[in-house]
Amino acid sequence: MPPHPEWTAAMFPDEVWEHVFSFLPSDADRNVAAASCHAWLRIERRSRRRVFVGNCYAVAPAVAVARFPEARAVEVKGKPHFADFDLVPGDWGGGADEWVAAMAEGWPQLEELRFKRMVVSDDCLEVIARSFRNFRVLGLAFCEGFSTAGLAAVAANCRNLRVLDLQENVIEDNCSHWLSHFPESFTSLVHLNIACLPGEVNVPVLERLVSRCTNLKTLKLNHAVPLEKLVILLRKAPQLVDLGTGRFSGEHHLDLYSKLESAFTGYKSLKSLSGTWEAVPAYLPAVYSVCEGLTSLNLSYATTQNPELIKLVSRCKSLQRLWVMDFIEDDGLAAVASSCKLLQELRVFPSDPYGPQPVSLTERGLVAISAGCPMLHSVLYFCNQMTNAALIAIALNRPNLTRFRLCIIEPQTPDYLTLQPLDAGFSAIVESCKDLRRLSVSGLLTDRVFKSIGAYADRLEMLSVAFAGDSDAGLHYILSGCKSLRKLEIRDCPFGDKPLLANAAKLETMRSLWMSSCSLTLGACKLLARKMPRLNVEIIDERRGASWDSRPDDCPVEKLYVYRTVAGPRSDTPSCVWTV
C-alpha cells in the first residue's frame, strides 16, 4: 500500500517544503503542488510571495488576499486587451478600489504593487501611500482615473519607494508640484518613469531629487522636458542605465549640440534609450557615443527619417530590442540585419496609419531581419503588403519565434503578388515555430489558416484575429485545437454560435474570450452561461437600450466578453454590460 501523501508531507517540517517550493519556476507549478494534498496546499499558500491575478474579476479580492497571507508582491490586470483600441466602453469596469482595500486590510507587509489596465483613483493611491510600511514598488501601466494629486500622496508617504513606474497611463494634471512632495530625506529611488505625464515638470525639483537618489538607474522623462533641461539632468545622474529623454528638441542655443554630446560621452553604463519625441535629426549624433553599449532602443516616437535613422541604429551593435517607426524602411531594416546580430525583439510602428503611405516599408524588411538576426524571437510589424513567400521564408529562417504579430494595415489584404489569401504563410509560421506563444494574424485569411493554427500551435497562449475566416469552422478549429490557449480575441469575423457552444468547456481552460462584430446571438450566450456556471458571460451593449432580459433569442450580440471566474457575476457592472 503506497504511503498516504499526508504522511510524506509530515516527514519534513514546513520550512523545508517552503524552500522546495521556492524553486518552482512558475505560479502554475505552485498551483499544481498546492492541489496535490492539504498539507502542501497549506504550506504553499503560506509561502507564496508573488501573486499574479491575470483577470481582476476571476477572484474576489478578499479571497485572494486571504489565500496568500504572506504575499509581498502582487500584479493585477483589469480590462481586456482590446480596450487599448477603444473597443471597450470607458465605464466597463476594472476598478482597483476593492483590491486596494482588501490588500490594505490583509497585506500590511506588501512591498510591490502593479496594476495593468485598471481604473485607479486618487483615493486608491492615498490608501496605498498610507497602508504599507515597506512599500517599494508601484507600477501602473495603461491605467486611468488618477491625477498628480494622487502621485503627490505616494511621494509624500512612501519613505522607501524604489520604483515608480508609470507606463502610458492617462493622468490628470492638477498638482504640478507633486514631485516636491518627495521629502528632502528621501533618497531611495532606483526607477522613475514619468514619461506619460501630461504637464510640465518642475526641473529644478527633479534635479534635486535625481541628485540625492544616487542609486537611480532608470529615469524616463516626459514630453515637457526639452533638450537643454535634459543636459542638466544628465549631469546629475551619470550612473543611469535606462534613460527616456523628453522631447529631442529645444530652444536653439549655440552650444546645445556640443553640451548634449559631451553629456552623453560621460554615460558609461547606459543600456537603454527611449523617448526622443520629435527628434530633430541634427541632435541625434550627440548620442552616438552610447550606441555601442545600448541593448534597448525605442525610437518609436521619433519622427526621424533615413538616412539619419539608419546612421543611428547601425551603430548599436549590441542591440537586443529595437522599437522604431516605419521610417526605418526596408533599407534601414537591411542595415539593422547586418549590424545588430544580437537582436531579439523588433517592433515597427506605422507613422501615418490613416494617410497615404509614402514609406517604403514592405515584407522585404521583415524577411531581411529574419534572415540576419539569429536570436530574433519577438516581432510586431505594421506594414501595407505581404506575401505568402515572405511569411514562409520568415518561418523557415526563424523557427525560434515566440511572439509574432503582423498587422497589414488594410483589412483583408491578399498576397499582393499572387492575390491569394495568406493562409499558406501563416500556416508555415505555426508549423515551423513550435514555441510560438503569441500570434496576431491579418490580411486575407480563410478557415484554412485556422485549421493549421488549431493543429500546430500547441504552445500558443494568446491569439488575435481580425477580419478573417469564412465560417463557423474557423472558430471551431481554434477552440478545438490550440492546447495551451489562454486568451482569444476576435473582431469582425463571420464566426457564430455553434462553435462557441460546441467548445464551451474549452472556455473554462482559458482566461478569457473576446468576440466583437461577429455573428453571435443572445440565445447562444444564454445557453453558454447556463452550461458553464463558472464563466461570466458579459454582453457589452454601448447603446444601453432595452433590457436584455426581454429581448428575443435571435437578437444579435455585438460584443461578448467571456472569462472564467470563481467569484461569480460581478457587482459593479455598468449599464452597458449585462452578465447573462
DSSP 349-374: E-S-SSS-------HHHHHHHHHH-T
Contact 182, 208 (CB under 8 A): no
Q: Please, which residue, 9 or 441, has the CB nearer to another protein?
A: 441
Q: Is 117 left (phi over 0), alpha (psi -120 to 50) or beta?
A: left
Using CB under 8 A as the binding rule, whether residue 257 contacts another protein is answered as yes
Q: How far is the CB of 76 from another protein (least distance, A)?
A: 20
Among residues 30, 89, 31, 98, which one has the least CA distance to residue 63? Answer: 98
Using CB under 8 A as the binding rule, whether residue 153 contacts another protein is answered as no
Q: Please, which residue, 71 or 518, has the CB nearer to another protein?
A: 518
Among residues 319, 269, 321, 326, which one has the least CA distance to residue 302? Answer: 326
C-alpha distances in angstroms, 536 versus 87, 94, 392, 513, 514?
19, 14, 39, 10, 12
Q: How far is the CB of 231 from another protein (least distance, A)?
A: 12
Q: Is 278 left (phi over 0), alpha (psi -120 to 50) or beta?
A: left
H/E stretch holding 526 reads helix 522-531
Using CB under 8 A as the binding rule, whether residue 491 contacts another protein is answered as yes
Scan residues 372-391 and list those touching another protein (CB under 8 A): 382
Selected binder of another protein within 86, 185, 543, 549 (CB under 8 A): 86
Scan residues 156-215 and list those touching another protein (CB under 8 A): 168, 196
Q: Please, which residue, 472 or 489, has the CB nearer to another protein?
A: 489
Residues 119, 142: Cα–Cα separation, whole Å: 9
Using CB under 8 A as the binding rule, whether residue 422 contacts another protein is answered as no
Using CB under 8 A as the binding rule, whether residue 461 contacts another protein is answered as no
> Cell numbers of 140, please?
501602473
Q: How far is the CB of 201 from another protein (least distance, A)?
A: 15
Using CB under 8 A as the binding rule, whether residue 251 contacts another protein is answered as yes
Q: Please, which residue, 281 or 496, has the CB nearer to another protein?
A: 281
Using CB under 8 A as the binding rule, whether residue 349 contacts another protein is answered as yes
Using CB under 8 A as the binding rule, whether residue 282 contacts another protein is answered as yes
Residues 462, 60: Cα–Cα separation, whole Å: 24
Q: Please, which residue, 224 or 502, has the CB nearer to another protein?
A: 224
Q: How far is the CB of 85 from another protein (least distance, A)?
A: 3
Give Cβ neighbours of residue 7 (< 8 Å, ≥ 6 apart).
none
Contact 132, 105 (CB under 8 A): no
Which window, 80-88, 94-102, 131-139, 495-503, contacts another protein (CB under 8 A)? 80-88
Q: Please, which residue, 2 or 358, has the CB nearer to another protein?
A: 358
H/E stretch holding 466 reads strand 462-466
Using CB under 8 A as the binding rule, whether residue 7 contacts another protein is answered as no
Residues 445, 454: Cα–Cα separation, whole Å: 14
Selected binder of another protein within 358, 533, 545, 552 (CB under 8 A): 358
Q: How far is the CB of 481 from another protein (least distance, A)?
A: 24
Residues near another protein, by CB under 8 A = 82, 84-87, 142, 168, 196, 226, 247, 249-258, 277-278, 280-286, 300-301, 303, 305, 307-308, 310-311, 349-356, 358-359, 382, 407, 409, 411, 440, 464, 466, 491-492
